[in-house]
Structures are given as structure tokens and as C-alpha cells.
Amino acid sequence: MPREAPESPLPDPKRFDALVLPHLDAAYNLARWLTRDAYDAEDVVQDACVRALKYMDSMEGGDARGWFLKIVRNAFYDWLGRNRPAEILHDENETVDAAVDLAAVTPEQAAMRKAELRTLADAVAALPLQYREVLILRELEELSYKEIARIANVPIGTVMSRLARARDLLQRSPLLYAIGGQVTRSIR
């Protein structure tokens, strides 16, 4: 009896490499901010990669970054429904620690900068999820409102509103108020 060909061909690994691998850092960054945990972010990105491989043919147009970040976002929400514990996750601030200005002139300046960045990261992490995700996509990933709207599956006006509310919440954050509000000006 002759062997039949499989119904769907195997995914093309070269296409996967071209579409997904250039955007792994952005995917991890988004997942890290959404999960607030480095290990959970790795799990979310791994799940997103599996999904991207499986659904490569669903990518329309040439925006592989937006397509993949939308998969990461969806993988995060699925993960959130399955795994989020009731208690607050401990944030190790690895991303913030890596961003410390190593060219600081004195140890005091370096300590102040590190404390400000840690405070900013804590304030961002304390934002409600819907505001935190648009802030990260806009300010750290530098996506346009249109790209964010497509990724979050909301109208552009909602993206603008959430971003304004996120910035407003940061400006009124007691954490940032404690350092004189100087850090909030750098977000804009």
C-alpha cells in the first residue's frame, strides 16, 4: 500500500528563522514586562515561538514584528489564565539593572541612577495590565499607535486613551513622587 503525503506540509524552518528570530528580544522584553518575571517570560516566549512556527502561514503583509508580538501577547494572556498565582510576583529588576549607566562619574551618581530606574520599573510594574502593555509597546518597543492597536486588537483611540492614562498614573505614582517626579519626564 503506497504511503500518502501528509495533509499539511511541515513548517519551513528558514522562513521561521527569518520571520521570528530577529524579534526574539522584543518578544522577551514584552513578555518580561507583562509577566513581571524573567522565567515566566521565557515560558511565554517559548509558547509564542511554537505558535508562530505552527501558524506561519497566517502572517499577512510584511510586518513580522507586529505579527509575532501579537502572538506573544496572546500567549501571555493564555498563560495568565492558566498560571498567575494570587500573590504578587517578586520582580528581580534584571532589565533595569542592565540599563544602569556605567559611565556615571561617581558611585553616588550611579547609586542614584540605579535607585531611580528601579523606582521607575516598580511604578511601571504597578500599572494595571492594559495600561502597562501599551506603554511598553509604545515607549520601549517604539511601535506606532496603529501597530499597537493591531497587536492589542483594540481601536487606535483606545490605544491613545490607555497610553494617556498610563502616563497620568505614572505622574501621580507615589513611588515617583518620592524622587521628585524627575523620572516621569523621561517617559514622555
Co-location of 31 and 76 in the same domain? yes
Render pLDDT for 131-177 as a digit per residue (tens, 0 to 9): 999 999 999 899 999 999 999 999 999 999 999 999 999 888 887 77
Residue 135 and residue 77 share a domain: no
> Do the domain assignments include residue 5?
no
Summarised one tens digit per residue, pLDDT across range 13-28 is: 788 888 888 899 999 9
Domain assignment present for 72: yes
Q: Which residues contact 143 (CB under 8 A, 6 or more apart)?
A: 66, 69, 137, 151
pLDDT of residue 3: 55
Indicate the number of domains in the chain.
Answer: 2
Domain containing 64 equals 13-83
Measure Cα distances from 74 to 25, 81, 113 in Å: 17, 11, 34
- Summarised one tens digit per residue, pLDDT across range 51-64 is 998 888 887 777 88
